[in-house]
Amino acid sequence: MKKQQLLFYTFIGLLFTFSAHTSANKIKTATPDSKELRAEENTHRQKLITAGGTITEIVFALGAGEHVIAVDQSSQYPEAIKQLPMVGYYRELAAEGVLSFTPDKILAIEGVGREEVIKQIESTGVQVVVYNKPTSTDGLVALIKQLGDDLGKAEQAEQLIAKFNASLPSETTNNTPSAKAVFLLSASDRGLIAAGTETVPQLIFNYAGIQNIAAKHTGFKGINNEALALQQPDFLVAPRHVVMGAGGKEKFCQSPNLSLLKAAQQCKLLVMDSLQSLGMTPRLADAIASVKNYQLENL
């Protein structure tokens, strides 16, 4: 009798194990996006710090802004981030300031902090994820996708990418430019620094059909004011923080290093959102429209 009972209970146990295994397989099959769901669940439990305006803007655009507890000073968009505390500029983060917020993870753009600072933060168990800085539309799309995967927001990332691609006008690089301009990162007593090729301003000019008269150099480099005067740009472009740092639009135009330019004499200066004009963001189409509209309205 005991043997029969043992066999009966053994059979019941095997039947239960088989049923549980079958149910688990069914659940797994029914949820093909379980990895994404787990990532999103993990994100819901995490406190994030974003360092780099482009990163912050994308995180909020993906709908993950509610998990952000602090941002760096380069993060200026969207409006909601103005309610958050700041941890300093992303290139100069201090470990003590960052760790005082007890974050679980830091999402940062390439170039963040000093190596010893990042190691100090990571030694406390805080994960620091550094993303490549996008310098092209393809690079931005790749960044949006990567952040979407990491945040469990893959579907939202696909929607954002589709919206971004649809917003871009046709690039007019091969067409004859209708105007000449220069993007100035600095116009102080120490000289002029202009955006050349392989920069976001160059990309904006390409889409807007504007000739960049500083395109002979790569990146942001000094440019001689006399050489600039020979080119005579139709208008000037500068980021807002640079113009405000000079004392405003009129003061900027009155810089001695710009005195030979007719555009400066007439103060034909487009002041652009700093992040929009210097960083690759989903608002690239707005930056292009700003340049194009300024040209149409002022030239």
Taking 70 as the threshold, does the pLDDT of residue 31 lie above it?
A: no
Taking 60 as the threshold, does the pLDDT of residue 243 lie above it?
A: yes
Residue range 259-270, pLDDT digits in tens = 999 999 999 999
pTM here is 0.82
Largest CA distance in the chain: 109
What's the confidence (pLDDT) of residue 206? Answer: 94
| C-beta contacts of 251-258 below 8 A and 24+ residues apart | 252/187, 255/187, 255/188, 255/189, 256/189, 257/187, 257/188, 257/189, 257/191, 257/192, 257/225, 258/187, 258/192, 258/225
Residue 156's pLDDT band (cuts 50, 70, 90): very high
Residue range 171-187, pLDDT digits in tens = 754 466 789 999 999 99
Tell me the CA distances in angstroms from 83 to 52, 77, 79, 96, one per residue in order: 17, 11, 8, 21
Q: Work out the percent of the chain whose per-residue pLDDT is above 70.
A: 83
Chain mean pLDDT for the chain? 87
Most confidently modeled of 4-13, 22-31, 51-60?
A: 51-60
What's the confidence (pLDDT) of residue 228? Answer: 93
d(CA 35, CA 113): 31
Tokens 């300093």: give the residue: 88
Tokens 């007719």: give the residue: 262
What's the confidence (pLDDT) of residue 23? Answer: 36
Residue range 44-68, pLDDT digits in tens = 568 999 999 999 999 999 999 999 9
d(CA 297, CA 253): 19
Min mean pLDDT across 23-37, 77-91, 112-126, 284-298 is at 23-37
Residue range 202-213, pLDDT digits in tens = 999 999 999 999
Paired with 192 in beta bridges are 187, 223
Tokens 């996008």: give the residue: 134
What's the confidence (pLDDT) of residue 142? Answer: 98
Residue range 93-118, pLDDT digits in tens = 999 999 999 999 999 999 999 999 99
Taking 70 as the threshold, does the pLDDT of residue 28 lie above it?
A: no
Structure token pair of residue 50: 């974003």
